[in-house]
């Protein structure tokens, strides 16, 4: 069974307006700890590991937890889990193209998919019997990063129980909260990671331009040639030596007193 965006919003509103967690309650403290741990996480895996661990503590009836993420090429994988059985169940869904984790992850907006008894579930004719054969009877999958755009990837938080009917309304509320916490943390981590990668690439590009400029200056001063001709000599040396242009430039800039750039194709430092 898949819950659409309107039902998702209604669940969140009901939880927010009617079921506020008392400050200092055990569940409130669990989410406070989770928030602190998520803020400390510096990678996507770190965020996900905190989430699956928290799910076992805060969602009643849960026995197994996993996270499904969708890759850039559209394929799915399970980066973190609490039990190998959860991975096996996820894999059944990836291979058959059906199941709650795919329904949640592929939804165009916030969604959840669930079943109280997979042994008799008709929505997933392949996954249901496979799950029951593994001793898993109930499931709840909640979308992560709905409406994700690159570099973010959509996914689902998957909660499994060995008891039929174990993941009912009282499990949905903390699961929705967990998914919200996880989505916010993942979005922030992905943005930071993307920014760090971009910054590193920019610094590398700047460094490459600087060292090429130094090498050109050395050749111009040594041989009395123009900047264009100096660059041509560096390029030819790069091709002849089968070394990247930036490495040739770095060698010349570092060892310019003993290194010469020759036009000979057999030139070596």
136 and 229 share one domain:
no
Q: Are residues 216 and 129 part of one domain?
A: no
Q: End of a domain among 149, 173, 191? A: 191
Same domain for 71 and 122, yes or no, is: yes
Q: What is the CATH number of the domain that holds 185?
A: 3.30.450.40
Bigger pLDDT: 170 vs 92? 92
Q: Are residues 126 and 216 in the same domain?
A: no
Pair of tokens at residue 61: 């009836």
Q: Are residues 29 and 74 in the same domain?
A: yes
Tell the residue number behind the tokens 């291979």, with chain if given: 95
Token readout for 78 is 């399970």
Query: What is the rounded distance in angstroms from the CA atom of residue 90 to the CA atom of residue 140?
Result: 12
* 264 part of a folded domain: no
Angle 93-91-178 from CA coordinates, rounded to 5°: 80
Using CA atoms of 179, 180, 185, 188 in order, give the dihedral in degrees to the nearest 10. Answer: 130
Overall average pLDDT of the 183-210 stretch: 54
* Total of domains in the chain: 2
116 shares a domain with 23: yes
Any domain includes 263: no
pLDDT tier at 170, thresholds 50, 70, 90? confident
Structural domain including 185 reads 2-191
- Full DSSP string of 229-265: HHHHHHHHHHHHHT--HHHHHHHHHHSTTT----SST
Q: How many Å apart are CA 200 and CA 265, to the nearest integer?
A: 34
User: Considering 153, 173, 191, which residue would you say is the last residue of a domain?
Assistant: 191
Q: Are residues 243 and 153 in the same domain?
A: no
Q: Residue 265: inside a domain, yes or no?
A: no
Residues 8 and 136 both lie in one domain: yes
> Most confidently modeled of 2-16, 44-58, 97-111, 135-149?
97-111
Q: Are 58 and 30 in contact (CB under 8 A)?
A: yes
Dist CA 267 CA 269 (whole Å): 7
Query: Among candidates 53, 82, 83, 87, which has minimal Cα distance to 69?
Result: 87
Residue at 18 is within a domain: yes
The answer to the question of residue 153 being in a domain is yes
Could you give the angle at the alpha carbon of 168 between the alpha carbons of 164 and 170, nearest 5°? 140
Find the mean pLDDT for residues 29-47. 59
């Amino acid at each position: 069974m898949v819950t659409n965006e309107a039902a998702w919003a209604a669940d969140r509103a009901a939880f927010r307006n009617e079921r506020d967690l008392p400050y200092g309650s055990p569940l409130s403290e669990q989410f406070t700890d989770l928030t602190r741990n998520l803020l400390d996480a510096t990678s996507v895996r770190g965020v996900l590991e905190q989430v699956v661990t928290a799910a076992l503590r805060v969602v009643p009836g849960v026995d197994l937890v996993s996270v499904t993420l969708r890759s850039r090429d559209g394929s799915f994988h399970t980066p973190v889990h609490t039990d190998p059985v959860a991975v096996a169940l996820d894999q059944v869904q990836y291979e058959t193209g059906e199941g709650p984790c795919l329904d949640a992850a592929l939804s165009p907006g916030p969604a959840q998919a669930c079943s109280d008894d997979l042994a008799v579930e008709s929505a997933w004719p392949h996954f249901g019997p496979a799950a029951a054969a593994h001793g898993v009877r109930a499931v709840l999958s909640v979308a992560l990063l709905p409406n994700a755009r690159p570099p973010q990837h959509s996914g689902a938080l998957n909660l499994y129980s060995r008891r039929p009917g174990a993941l009912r309304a009282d499990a949905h509320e903390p699961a929705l909260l967990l998914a919200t916490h996880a989505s916010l943390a993942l979005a922030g981590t992905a943005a930071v990671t993307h920014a760090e990668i971009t910054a590193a690439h920019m610094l590398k590009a700047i460094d490459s331009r600087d060292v090429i400029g130094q090498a050109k200056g050395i050749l111009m001063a040594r041989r009395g040639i123009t900047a264009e001709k100096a660059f041509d000599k560096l390029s030819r040396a790069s091709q002849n030596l089968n070394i990247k242009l930036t490495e040739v430039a770095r060698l010349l800039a570092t060892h310019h007193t003993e290194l010469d750039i020759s036009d000979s194709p057999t030139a070596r430092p």
